[in-house]
Structure 1
Amino acid sequence: MNFNFLSPVSDIVLAHNELLPEQALGRKLKIHSKQQGVPDLEGVQLAIIGVLETRNDVNYIGEDFNLNEIRKSFYALFPGSWNTIIADLGDINKGESVEDTYFALKTTIAILVQKGVIPIILGGSQDLTYANYRAYDNIIPMVNVVNVDSKFDLGDSAKPIKNTSFVGKIILDQPFNLFNYSAIGYQTYFNSQEEIDLMEKLYFDAYRLGEVSNDITIVEPVMRDANIVSIDLRAVKSSEVSLKQKDSPNGLDGKEICAISRYAGISNKVTSLGIWEYKPSKDDEITAMLISQIIWYFIEGVNCRVSDDGDFKNENNYQKFITLIDDQDLIFYKSIKTGRWWIEIPFLNEMNNKLKRHTLLPCMHQDYIDACNNILPERWYKAFQKNCV
């Protein structure tokens, strides 16, 4: 397989790996090394890739970094009761230009996703999510992106792409493949009122930090509908991370970010995960370990996947509930296998055929209870409005 863009895992990490117990994760991975080359992907379900690119960070001052500490931490963990084969494919180095790095990442992700391998991308600046998104151009017609972040990152799309403005590029650049964008854990004081208004105007989902911390389960249906999940480490509060990583006294704690990652793993739709904005420092062990645990919980989630998306072809697999709000029938489905809920979005006949596959929107049991009490579920309303635009 042609993975020319990937450089092997460093000898320092491999030497460290040799000292680990036989049961450790690092001893069970297929690892890209100088000696062995890129491992065979036969049977591999998840692949770790590093991307050593930060030049489009608004605060870039020319520094380089590596991911050795993350790998050492991750390799030293013990796997759960997993049946997945995991590979570490090494790193994509900085290209001659940032566009070259984007191309390398886009191409690598596209190859992996088409082979049924879920890439876990560890990176520099979050603008690389744009390359992750573009990898899907020829794979699926419409893409849902979830951004776990304190900011929306819409930015000014008229200006060159940066790690604070990549979502604007995703929305406005052709081909237009974005169906929905959801922001989880945003903090209002980090976002201009114009951006907050734009999120509303575009009917995108946004969940404030307080909402998420109050009830972490609201993240589950959002993740169930996601193809790409992008985690900005700046969404994590300062007390949980190393010196250079500190961004805000408020944010998600370690337990919450790991729970969110597990929800992403459980989703049958999520086919790539990016963890961005890693900034190593001398006291780095704590951030490296947090990232390792985020990855661990994502893999744990993937191992707990239960296919219930196709259950609605057979009446014996689900229960159907209908409730009426303002002359509008709301139709809910509950999977008997998993207990998960969906709500039907009515489609207009003249609508773009690309959207046909989105007729069922994942939701919570609470949405059904609200509908019974004459409260229209907000995600249903936004999805319906989006289809009417």
Structure 2
Amino acid sequence: MKHYNKPKKDIWQGRISNKSLYLHEKVKCVPLEEIPEPPKKSITLLGYACDEGVKRNQGRIGAVKGPEVIKTSFGKLPNHLPSHVQLYDAGSITCKNTAMEAAQNTLSEAVTTLLNNKQFPIILGGGHDIAYGHYHGIKNHLDSKKEGQTIGIINFDAHFDLRKNVPNNNSGTPFYQIAMECQNENCNFNYLCLGIRKDANDRSLFQTAKDLNVNFILSDTFQIQFLDEINTWINAFIKTVDKVYVTIDLDGFSSAYAPGVSAPSPMGFTPQIVLECLKIIISSGKLISMDLAEMNPKYDIDGQTAKLAASLMHHVMHTLYKA
């Protein structure tokens, strides 16, 4: 497959228990085309090793190395998954030269394949242009079932990523691109942003969000003391859709927790509020897939950002599949 690298077994290292007490002992490295269809839904990790979109969006590059670093950190964490739940590493989608759109298309095909094979995909970026390919992979899977199911996008992020894709597509345009396609197809654009900062989005982006009927919660409200109100908004949004796709932009977190990102800021949100919101999303039974974007190891400190990403994945997996 073009724009694809097979999984690397040597990145999965940690304490040895011989009892699968750690995730590096649980994971199986299997090429994408060989992922089996299990009796029960299982989990597949897939990288999106691309920061061409970040470069086009004038961000600091380095996120191309993000997927492998997240996997390495994740493998050291303890394993509490039930024995029947399989965990696969399917390698990474890659961006050859500057062919971001081709990488997005390959990602879309890969996500569709995983969903068709009863996997819960967790895609690791890479720039937030990951969202465009990921969304289309989900959409193609649902369209193939011919049930007319709607997708709700929940984005934990400081940025709307609703920039107009002129002169090109980039890490700041994925949701605008999706919105325009929804308009062309005469269907609803269901998009909820949590943690939006006024100091990270200009007036035109707020106007675009208003024009597209985007739901959002500002950063000064996206705090743990307002959790009950936030959960009410999340539940109201989820009720309007059939499936939920969660995307977490790591640069939405305060740089106190996530220094290794493409666009850091000390004014971001905390892990605690995101973990609590993820619980309510998972409890709906509608979560179909998720990704983490903008991990940039070049600027990480003591692996903090990679550890944060790994812990978020750990939380989601173990909430979905309780032992």
Whole-angstrom distance in 2 between the partners of 1:114 and 1:72: 27
Q: 1:243 Cα shift?
A: 5.0
Q: 1:297 Cα shift?
A: 1.1
Which sections of structure 2, spanning at least 5 residues, go unmatched?
none
2:120 aligned partner, one-letter code: I
Higher RCO (C-alpha under 8 Å, 6+ residues apart): 2
Q: 1:244 Cα shift?
A: 5.3
2:310 aligned partner: 292
Whole-angstrom distance in 2 between the partners of 1:230 and 1:280: 19
Query: Percentage identity across aligned positions?
Result: 18
TM-score, normalized by length of structure 1?
0.69
For residues 248-287 of structure 1, the aligned pairs below 5 Å read 248-281=265-298, 283-287=301-305
Aligned pair in 2 of structure 1 residues 252, 13: CA closer, same or farther (>3 Å)? same
Paired residue total: 299
Is 1:31 paired with 2:29?
yes
2:125 aligned partner: 123
RMSD: 2.8
Which sections of structure 1, spanning at least 5 residues, go unmatched?
305-389
Whole-angstrom distance in 2 between the partners of 1:284 and 1:68: 16
The secondary structure found in structure 1 opposite 2:277 is helix
1:99 aligned partner, one-letter code: E
Identify the match of residue 226 of structure 2 among 185, 192, 215.
Answer: 215
Q: 1:137 Cα shift?
A: 3.6
2:93 aligned partner, one-letter code: I
1:56 aligned partner, one-letter code: G
Q: Is contact 1:263-1:301 (8 Å) kept?
A: no
1:297 aligned partner, one-letter code: H
The secondary structure found in structure 2 opposite 1:210 is coil
Is 1:303 paired with 2:304?
no
Aligned pair in 2 of structure 1 residues 207, 286: CA closer, same or farther (>3 Å)? same
2:159 aligned partner: 151
2:206 aligned partner: 196
2:306 aligned partner, one-letter code: A
Aligned pair in 2 of structure 1 residues 244, 206: CA closer, same or farther (>3 Å)? closer
Q: Considering only CA atoms, is the larger Rg found in Structure 1 or Structure 2?
A: 1
Identify the match of residue 6 of structure 2 among 8, 31, 39.
Answer: 8
For residues 55-134 of structure 1, the aligned pairs below 5 Å read 55-57=52-54, 58-59=57-58, 63=62, 64-80=64-80, 82=82, 84-95=85-96, 97-134=99-136
Q: 1:279 Cα shift?
A: 0.2
Aligned pair in 2 of structure 1 residues 202, 59: CA closer, same or farther (>3 Å)? closer
Q: 1:266 Cα shift?
A: 3.1
2:26 aligned partner, one-letter code: K
The secondary structure found in structure 1 opposite 2:190 is strand
| Per-residue deviation, residues 208-253 of structure 1 (Å, max 9, x unmatched) | 1222203234244145645211111111001112355671111111
Aligned pair in 2 of structure 1 residues 284, 39: CA closer, same or farther (>3 Å)? farther
Q: Is contact 2:59-2:262 (8 Å) kept?
A: no
2:309 aligned partner, one-letter code: I
1:230 aligned partner: 247
Whole-angstrom distance in 2 between the partners of 1:209 and 1:37: 41
